[in-house]
């Protein structure tokens, strides 16, 4: 196993233990709002602290970027850990058992290691650049779907980017009219992991953050999928606008979306 993958897995499992201990006592969780439908809990912060502790033990000089802690700069800026300690906080707070820990490691801007851990199901999705993707010890491949009318497609509503709501609803309607079915589960990291595992055929969303995307992006690509932004470029880590899926499903979605995009989403 890649040395940094070993630490990422250890960190993800440590965070998962913190999360699941709290999940049995939801009435004791401290919840505050960062924005509309955007929650942070003491558990997010404790899980992020557990991840940071594991990373710092082995790599004290690496940079860490976390959803709750911001950027924790180290002396070695070539290595960056991008972490979401609890992706799907709204689900967690409501007792919906669908959330995950997401950890990615970049070297000079390229993602080398990815871990998405679902502590409820004890499912560990991992990838190393050039070495493929796995679920626990089983190799992952994206589905073989070739036609949109056969597909199940994941998405997420842009509640943090409501200025794009009108355009998003056009994309949603166009997709719904062509695909087999749509899913909105509430964790982009798990949605991308599910695409890598062939459970869903594609995924799209607007306005995500790097910690939502970084690990799932590598999982999909190492499982044979394609990841782009809404116009077919590779600017999704910056824009937060993403399409990921089987190569043919991704191309079909890009073609369907192109005439519907607002000028703001064409950049």
Summarised one tens digit per residue, pLDDT across range 27-74 is 888 887 766 656 678 999 999 999 999 999 999 999 999 877 767 777
- Can you give the CATH number for the domain in which 224 is found? 3.40.190.80
Decide if 266 is inside a domain.
no
**What pLDDT does residue 39 have?**
67
What pLDDT sits at residue 34?
64
Q: Count of residues for the chain?
A: 267
Q: Residue 71 domain-assigned?
A: yes
- The pTM assigned to this predicted structure is 0.95
Among the three residues 108, 139, 170, which one is the final residue of a domain in this structure? 139
Tens of pLDDT, residue by residue over 204-258, are: 999 999 999 999 999 999 999 999 999 999 999 999 999 999 999 999 999 999 9
Q: Is 265 inside a domain boundary?
A: no
Give the three-state DSSP class for 1: coil
% of the chain surpassing 90 pLDDT: 80
Average pLDDT over residues 142-156: 94
Q: What is the average pLDDT value for the chain, to the nearest integer?
A: 93
Q: Which two tokens stand for residue 207?
A: 């306005």
Q: Please return the burial class of 199, using the count of CB atoms within 10 Å of its CB with bins 0-12, 13-18 and 19+.
A: middle
Mean pLDDT of 126-154: 95
Q: Which domain holds residue 111?
A: 3-139
245 and 118 share a domain? no
Domain count, the chain: 2
State mean pLDDT over 140-162: 91
CB–CB of 94/194 below 8 Å?
A: no
Q: What is the mean pLDDT of residues 78-90?
A: 94
Domain CATH code at residue 109? 3.30.540.10
User: Residue 65 in 3-state DSSP?
Assistant: strand
Predicted confidence (pLDDT) per residue in 22-31, tens digit: 999 888 888 8
> What pLDDT does 2 receive?
86
Within this chain, do residues 163 and 83 fall inside the same structural domain, yes or no? no
Whether residues 64 and 168 share a domain: the answer is no
Q: Of 122, 139, 156, which residue is a domain's last?
A: 139
């Amino acid at each position: 196993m890649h040395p940094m993958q070993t630490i990422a897995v250890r960190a993800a499992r440590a965070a998962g233990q913190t999360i699941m201990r709290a999940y049995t006592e939801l009435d004791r969780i401290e919840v505050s709002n960062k924005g509309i439908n955007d929650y942070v809990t003491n558990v997010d912060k404790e899980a992020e602290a557990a991840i940071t502790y594991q990373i710092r033990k082995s790599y004290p000089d690496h940079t860490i970027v976390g959803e709750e802690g911001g950027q924790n700069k180290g002396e070695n800026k070539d290595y960056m850990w991008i972490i979401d300690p609890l992706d799907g906080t709204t689900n967690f707070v409501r007792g919906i058992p669908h959330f995950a820990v997401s950890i990615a490691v970049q070297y000079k801007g390229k993602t080398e290691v990815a871990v998405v851990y679902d502590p409820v199901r004890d499912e560990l999705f991992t990838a190393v650049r050039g070495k493929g993707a796995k679920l626990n010890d089983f190799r992952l491949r994206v589905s073989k779907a070739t036609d949109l009318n056969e597909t199940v497609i994941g998405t997420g509503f842009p509640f943090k980017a409501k200025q794009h709501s009108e355009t998003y609803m056009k994309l949603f309607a166009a997709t719904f009219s062509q695909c087999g079915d749509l899913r909105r589960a509430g964790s982009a990291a798990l949605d991308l992991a599910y695409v890598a595992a062939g459970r869903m055929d594609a995924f799209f969303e607007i306005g995500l953050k790097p910690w939502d995307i970084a690990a799932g992006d590598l999982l999909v690509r190492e499982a044979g999928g394609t990841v782009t932004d809404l116009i077919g470029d590779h600017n999704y880590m910056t824009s937060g606008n993403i399409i990921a899926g089987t190569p043919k499903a991704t191309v079909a979605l890009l073609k369907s979306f192109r005439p519907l995009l607002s000028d703001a989403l064409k950049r």
